[in-house]
Amino acid sequence: MVTMFADRMENTKKSFIREILKVTQQPEIISFAGGLPDPALFPSEELAAAAGKVMSDDAVNVLQYSTTEGYLPLREFIAQRYLEKNGLKISPSEILITNGSQQSLDLIGKVFLNKGDRVVIESPGYLGAIQSFSIFEPQFQEIPLLDDGIDVDLLDKTLDECDAKFFYTVPTFQNPSGITYSKEKREAVANILEKHGVVCVEDNAYGELRFAGEEVPTIRNYLDNTILMGSFSKIIAPGLRLGWICANKDIMEKLLVVKQAADLHSNYLSQRIICQYLMDSDVDSHIAKIKDVYGSRRDHMINMMARYFPENIIYTKPEGGMFVWVTLPESVSSMDLFNLAIKKNVAFVPGSPFYITEGAGDNTLRLNFSNSNQSEIEDGIKRLAACIEKLTF
């Protein structure tokens, strides 16, 4: 009898976060689970004006099929911003507009991965990348994160012992840990990857959301053989589903082929609306507003954890982004904590889905602070602390 489904579906799991978000739709639940921007900060009026202008000026074209690469003025804006913000000289021809960063991951997987190929990832790592790459049935090589980035000695040793297709990293305000690679660690990673001839896939979805500390160069600043990913979801609005990939000519040619096969091109109307918004508005002022709000919420969450959590609970203090990573005593399961907390109407993401190794991270969890107000943060942390106390004493 022929099996209905492809073999790859056996090893590809549902997104734990997507499943949790179904539970958190109830209004009484305080959710620290999703990586959701605050919708109150979406530039709704400006986007509405941009949409109206685009439709009134050029409706015939914006509703038509478009080019696979994406709207040229939008790619030019991204290239110019990289030059101004990061000192990177990237041609618009090296930029591909995608349906969010998640599609960028899928396209990269299609271009690079055969079944059994090695992919080096951070541990803990971004769940969306793990799920996306898992479709292609690679072998993951996990490198643990330290306070300032991955263990570079282990990265070097791992690449000595296996042929990896690429190293995937979120070096700035990492998801899920919130940590940021130091300048020295980024340069070391670049040198190691260059020595071994391994591509770096640098996911910079949160890079614009710094509210503490000093800016650091991208890994792309040190390593030309870097595929750099970006997104409008965190700085404008996720519902428009637009991101991008920057890659050299040889890689871009392959990405364009798989993009054409996937969906011909990204939503052209969304591209035109975002580009019009960027032309007509001060996006840096808008981002500064987001950073002020998120920075205040991060500070409040850290302060509430310091006030209410037991002293033996460890947590990161991110300089930006959306997440705090919590480590419980080894004897405490974050899944047990989740089951207890959800009864108290508090949700978070247990840490184990962010690891490849079975059973790893069972005493860790991720908290999101970007989509909860000050009152919700204090109330939610207080309830979570009571649940932790119940499990530890």
User: Domain extents for the chain?
Assistant: 7-43+285-392, 46-280
Examine the pLDDT at 143 and tell me if it is beyond 90: yes
Report, at the CATH architecture level, how domain 7-43+285-392 is classified. Alpha-Beta Complex (3.90)
- pLDDT tens column, 268-313: 999 999 999 999 999 999 999 999 999 999 999 999 999 999 999 9
Asked whether residue 2 carries a pLDDT value surpassing 80, the answer given is: no
Spatial separation of the C-alpha atoms in residues 133 and 291, rounded to whole Å: 31
Instruction: Look at residue 28 in the predicted model and tell me its pLDDT.
Output: 86
The partner residues of 65 in beta bridges, in order of sequence, read none
pTM: 0.94
Q: pLDDT grade, residue 9 (50/70/90)? A: confident
Average pLDDT over residues 196-220: 97
Question: pLDDT-based confidence at 267, cuts 50/70/90?
Answer: very high
What per-residue confidence (pLDDT) applies to 20?
66
CA distance 31 to 168: 28
Domain 46-280, what architecture?
Answer: 3-Layer(aba) Sandwich (3.40)
Is the predicted pLDDT of residue 25 greater than 90, yes or no? Answer: no
**Residue 96 DSSP SS3:** strand
pLDDT of residue 358: 85
173 φψ region: left (φ > 0), alpha (ψ -120 to 50), beta (else): left
Across the range 172-194, mean pLDDT stands at: 98
For 378-388, how does the pLDDT look when each residue is reduced to its tens digit (9 = 90+)? 999 999 999 99
pLDDT at 393 over 80: no
The mean pLDDT of 164-192, rounded to a whole number, is 98
Tokens of residue 101, six digits:
């960063």
| 323 has pLDDT over 80 | yes
- Residues in contact with 127: Cβ distance below 8 Å, sequence separation at least 6, in sequence order: 15, 16, 17, 175, 176, 353, 354
φ, ψ at 296 (rounded to 5°): -65, -40
**Mean pLDDT for all residues in the chain:** 94
Torsion of CA 202, 208, 214, 220, to 10 degrees: 30
